[in-house]
Structure 1
Amino acid sequence: MDLNTVRAVVPAATAGPWQPGDAWLAGGTYLFSQPHRHLRRLRDLAGAGWPALTRTPRGLDIAATCTIAELARCAASPRTAQRELIRGCCEAFLASFKIWNTATVGGNVCTALPAGPMISLGAALDGTCLVIAAGGGRRELPVAEFVTGVGTTALVPGEFLRSMTLPAATLRCRTAFRKGSLSPLGRSAALLVGRTDPADGSFVLTVTASTVRPVQLRFDAVPSAGTLRESVTDGIPDDLYVDDVHGLPVWRRQLTLLFAEQIRTELAGGSTR
């Protein structure tokens, strides 16, 4: 879609002070998908030259400009921890190769749709967001706190997402993944990831897609079925469930409970098949 109100596209490094009508541009698959009549200038991050993926002692740094295709190729490498989870989240896009080669990890997180699978990946592994202001200031916050609601984030005007880091400790954890939608090629109505830590036996359940923002439930060990069901019921009030054409809240709640128990059983050593 043409953005006929935009007067200029400028490299982010030379854009100068933040102005009303500015927006950050990475892949642009969201920006160019619908009208944004308030926009006047795009500050292009694509030319920043950030490495898509960087392995460090801290973990895996994923640049905001890393495309879904680049992340999926990384998941195909035997060197990559959490290959199945990363690949599963990439495939949750249910998008064509054209989108995979254009859409970015940072764009998916910043768009903050409940079904954003990069949000699911980052939150499930206790990822952190590096946020930089137009003036150069920086701060970090958890992915689970970065997304605050449907289409809303913790960013303030002039800030952009530089990268998302998946910690080395959680990359070593055992995980289980469940996703459901109204149709085989439909938008995610519930995407849950469970994680157990081999170091201390702790269990973390991350709920996304069915809720307007990520919800995490933490336990010292894999809980009983009753404890988990009670925690999901008490920890996710009815008004946190998404209500749209992709699924009613009551159905999303039941799907969440079903997937939570399947994940609990799998990570406890049982089978849900």
Structure 2
Amino acid sequence: MSRPPTFVPPPGSRAYSLSTARGEFAVVDAPAADGVEPRGVALLLPGFTGSKEDFNPLHVPLARRGYRTVAVDGRGQYESDGPQDDESAYAQEELARDVLAQAAAVGAPVHLLGHSLGGQIARAAVLLDPEPFRSLTLMSSGPAQISESQQQRVKLLRDALTVMTMAEVWDAIQAMETPEETDTGELDGGLDDREDLRRRWLRTKPAQLIATGRQLCSEPDRVAELAALPLPFHVLSGALDDTWPVALLDEMALRLRARRTVVEGAEHSPNTDQPLATARALAGFWDAHPSRGAHADRDAHQGRG
């Protein structure tokens, strides 16, 4: 089971509202470490039911490698506002255009990383316009819809959200979990992570979860479109994943001619399961692509991480 994120801000980071042409988005922004030559900027997109805090363990090790990292709450996620009931506001193209605006506000070109659902939104953004991006990393994010077992779980959640409040759904989820899933202990700073997770859940807009849950269950395979772009790709995952089988991610990487990294000891969230190994893999990939991705020679830098 993947470890929960820590909500304690990493040292040297700043949490604020990023102003963009498409509105305000909550971010955690961590600069490159003092005394380290800046090597680039990365924009990090969280997954379904996630938030910018999912990337907290990565900021410090990536800062030490010279990277400024900006993790963002998407529209309707946690501390970024969005409509409560209007699902059309969370159409994939709308969320992808938000990413283009975020990249512009941060200072394109940026390395783009998307975790799970965030990977599919990142893919959509790059397909709209690859120019603002140096590279694309798909972390635990597959070529099309999620596995059948996960589709069933997402459908149950979507059905529940149509008749229950967010608080009622949270309580129902906790009641159905095993003791191992609920006993996650305390995180640094003495904060009870269950309270943090509950607060994040309650502040996420139900329409966002319903709309993006539907996307996860119906996403088409767009790997061929993506592979046609002159952009460096990285497919990174844990050694186990029940959302997209690891073998499917291996195949996607081959189709993309992408760098492939499997993080041992990690499951669906290598960013929280094995952050140091994940950060090393990310920085190694980004180091190989210092120039604008849309004009780089992708084939000169392929390999397995």
What is the TM-score with the length of structure 2 in the denominator? 0.25
Higher RCO (CA 8 Å, separation ≥ 6 residues):
2
Looking at secondary structure, tell me which structure has more helix per residue.
2
Larger Rg: 1
Looking at secondary structure, tell me which structure has more strand per residue.
1
